[in-house]
Amino acid sequence: MKFKAVMENDGMVAGGCGAQSMVLHVLQALQRLERALDKKQSQRNATPPSVVLKLTPESFALAHRGGADEGSCTWSHFVTGQLFSEYRIESKRDNQIDLEAPLANLLHVFSSCSSSDRTTIRLANGSDGRPILGFEFALPGNVADHRVEQDVPVRVIPEEEAATIREPALPEPEYQIELPQSLGKIKNVLERMKAVGAQHILMEVGQERTATPGSVAGTAGASAPSGRAWMKFVAEAELVTISSTFPSLRLVMEGKDSRPPDGPVRLFLSLRRLTEVFSAIQGITAESHIACILQNRALVVYALLPKNLGSLISYTPAVTV
């Protein structure tokens, strides 16, 4: 089993960030989601938070399974040819390797190497004979660069267990919509809903329609789909109901085989979980955000990373109210 990869900080993503910084931003998003589970984990005497690294010749994926027992999980997929300047992987499992690593350790090492020009990552055995991911990089100094080596302990996941760690199998969503570029507006609405004591949120999405040329308003067939959609959030507390609508969102048809339904779709979600998701994703430099709505089943939010680097995908299951 062999793995070696090289990341170069060439400013290839938005804001002048390099590959190391982009991975760091994703890990920070996973940490935000994990922190929301800390209290629940401490009550269950859980082990320290970890992430799963699924390595193949084509993909470098991070899986955060916090909340997996409730159906919630978050994955990040990177294209190896975009993330790494050099990449080599060998294993008896058709060149696939699955590792589990402490989230805190990965955050520490990527925080350290995010400003380095070049970072080399190797799968090796540590001084105690246990597997590690070894990181080698140089940090600029006043006179000369400082060579740094840091190790992250990992657990090699057996093939049988690795096969069970996968993304939820879901049908085609009724709607795929592009969210506002600034997720802060959505996050602010959700925070206000939490502030009044709401626990759940109703999410509705439907097509916007435009008048058909030559038609008479109010008659059948007087309108047609506009290629845009509206998204509505409704939250109820004991003494107040808050409703907010986001209009004119672009319908995304890529990857869909069928058109959206004529009527709106709806699902109830945990307001706490939804707020956590948008807070975490907001910190990532993404080119666009896509929401996939599966009626009464799940909301899946995609953050598409710059330069076709990959994506962050968060799954939030519907709840019964």
3-state secondary structure labels for all residues of 148-182: EEEEEECEECCHHHHCCCCCCCCCCCCEEEECCCC
Neighbours of 194 (CB within 10 A): 17
Q: Distance between CA atoms of 101 and 266, rounded to whole angstroms?
A: 37
Residue 210 CB partners (closer than 8 Å, separation 6+): 223, 224, 225, 226
User: Percentage of residues in the chain with pLDDT exceeding 90?
Assistant: 72
- Residue 73: name the closest of 298, 267, 304, 308 by CA: 298
Low-confidence ranges of the chain (pLDDT < 70): 10-17, 37-46, 66-70, 142-144, 211-223
Q: Distance between CA atoms of 59 and 62, rounded to whole angstroms?
A: 10
- Residue 201: name the closest of 216, 190, 217 by CA: 190
- Residue 231: name the closest of 216, 213, 243 by CA: 243
Q: Distance between CA atoms of 302 and 29, rounded to whole angstroms?
A: 13
pLDDT (0 to 100) of residue 321: 82
How far lies 71's CA from each of 68, 172, 251, 258, in Å?
5, 18, 26, 26
Q: Distance between CA atoms of 296 and 301, rounded to whole angstroms?
A: 16
Residue pair 175/229 in contact (Cβ under 8 Å)? The answer is yes
Q: Distance between CA atoms of 304 and 291, rounded to whole angstroms?
A: 11
310 by DSSP, 3-state: which?
strand
- The pair phi, psi for residue 306, each rounded to 5°, is -65, 155
Residue type, 75: W
Query: CA-based angle 129:132:138, to the nearest 5?
Result: 125
Token pair for residue 23? 């991975």
Residue 113 CB partners (closer than 8 Å, separation 6+): 7, 20, 119, 135, 137, 148, 150
Neighbours of 255 (CB within 10 A): 10
pLDDT (0 to 100) of residue 69: 54
Q: Distance between CA atoms of 279 and 264, rounded to whole angstroms?
A: 26
Q: Distance between CA atoms of 200 and 241, rounded to whole angstroms?
A: 12
pLDDT (0 to 100) of residue 182: 85
pLDDT (0 to 100) of residue 42: 46
How far lies 8's CA from each of 3, 263, 272, in Å?
17, 48, 37
Residue pair 20/9 in contact (Cβ under 8 Å)? The answer is yes
pLDDT (0 to 100) of residue 302: 96
Pairing, β 288-294 against β 175-178: antiparallel
